[in-house]
Copies of this chain bind each other. A is one copy, B any other.
Amino acid sequence: MKKYNVAVVGATGLVGREMLKTLSQRNFPIKNLKVIASQRSAGKKIKFEDQELTVEAVQADTFAGIDIALFSAGSDVSKEVAPLVKKAGGIVVDNSNAFRMDPDVPLVVPEVNGSDLANHQQIIANPNCSTIQMVMLLKPLADKYGLKRLVISTYQAVSGAGKKAVDELFAQTKAHLAGEAIKNEKFNHQIAFNAIPQIDVFLDNDYTKEEMKMVNETQKILHTPELAITATCVRIPVVYGHGESLNIELLKDFELGEIKTLFAKTKNVELVDQPAAEKYPLQVATENNDNVLVGRIRRDNSLKNSLNLWLTANNLRKGAALNAVQIAEYLIENELV
């Protein structure tokens, strides 16, 4: 089997480390692996299987011979560094927001729109975490019934904001339990025992960037630029796993049982929907689970052809690292590298 030279840019971050773990767990065909981070982290050691890799900062020749570079170091780094990979002849799978809405850049969840990779131009975007898990469920519904409108409310984990955010949740929680004052540094408000109805910055329309990502990226991934979508994104004091409450209006009528069967048959989706046994998707259940969990599926009697459901998925795995690695695997399987 052919092997590839791989780089992980942002290798010391939460998603970067998850990318390394995922590459190993899935036996990604690696010839040589480079771990890249900021100048500050250069020289640090990272264990990868039986190797000890040294973190490098980006240099002029860093990407010479690299086939695939997985990026998760923020938009600014992606904008600056991705062109260097492209120039050196490699492919970038970028987890940041930098290129997602660029019409020349495929925005891909392999199970949903892997075929969009066919005409890639060396830069491929990994969608936003909340969007990835949602489109995994929307795709089979869109194919079978057609989508009319989505009303989304999210319950997002702090790990989506990085390692410092997780540290801050724990530090604030400990302080609160000890009756001490709470410090906000990474978050603009208390996150311990609180919810913050803001993720990312506010835009001119008073939606947050995260909310508009869910609208715009979903439309792009599903090839339905006019699909009616509205979202409210909220950070809650959960460490791993995003939850979403989804109200879906379909174009055609449906049977609930049909929809449950459809999800049960969908690859990498897991139906967890037994109200009588009090079983439904939980965020803590996603910690070691790569699937999107869906449950609480019920008819919305307030509107024709409508339903409610609840979904959870691991925001660092399917929501980020795993999806990026799956994109790389798709490229290899389809001889697009």
A interface residues with partner B (beta carbon < 8 Å) = 149-151, 153, 155, 170, 173-174, 177, 188-190, 193-198, 202, 205-207, 228-230, 232, 234, 236-239, 243, 245, 247, 275-276, 278, 280-284, 295-303, 306, 308, 310
For residue A282, give the distance in angstroms from its CB to the closest CB of chain B. Answer: 6
Chain B residues, CB < 8 A from A189: 278, 282, 284
Given contacts A196-B282, A310-B197, contact A245 B234 (CB under 8 A): yes
In chain B, what residue has the closest Cβ to A204?
Answer: B275
In chain B, what residue has the closest Cβ to A174?
Answer: B177
Whether B229 pairs with A302 at a CB distance below 8 angstroms is yes
Given contacts A234-B245, A278-B188, A298-B206, contact A283 B151 (CB under 8 A): no
CA distance A76 to B237 in the complex (A): 34
Q: Choose among B155, B278, B308 the residue that contacts A236 (Cβ–Cβ < 8 A).
A: B155
In chain B, what residue has the closest Cβ to A173?
Answer: B173
Chain B residues, CB < 8 A from A236: 155, 195, 236-238
In this complex, which of A193, A283, A308 has the most chain B Cβ atoms within 10 angstroms of its Cβ?
Answer: A193
CA distance A10 to B189 in the complex (A): 35
Chain B residues, CB < 8 A from A174: 177
Whether A234 pairs with B155 at a CB distance below 8 angstroms is yes
9 contacting pairs across A/B (C-beta < 8 A): A149-B302, A173-B173, A193-B239, A197-B295, A230-B300, A236-B238, A237-B237, A237-B238, A247-B247
Q: Choose among B190, B230, B238, B300 the residue that contacts A308 (Cβ–Cβ < 8 A).
A: B230
Known: A194-B284, A207-B298. 8 other contacts (CB 8 A): A151-B151, A151-B247, A155-B236, A193-B237, A197-B281, A206-B297, A228-B303, A234-B243
Given contacts A151-B151, A298-B205, A302-B228, contact A238 B275 (CB under 8 A): no
In chain B, what residue has the closest Cβ to A238?
Answer: B193
Whether A149 pairs with B303 at a CB distance below 8 angstroms is yes
CA distance A229 to B303 in the complex (A): 9
CA distance A174 to B301 in the complex (A): 41
Whether B197 pairs with A280 at a CB distance below 8 angstroms is yes
CA distance A112 to B298 in the complex (A): 31
For residue A12, give the distance in angstroms from its CB to the closest CB of chain B. Answer: 24
Whether A282 pairs with B194 at a CB distance below 8 angstroms is yes
Whether A238 pairs with B195 at a CB distance below 8 angstroms is yes
Whether B237 pairs with A276 at a CB distance below 8 angstroms is no
CA distance A301 to B215 in the complex (A): 11
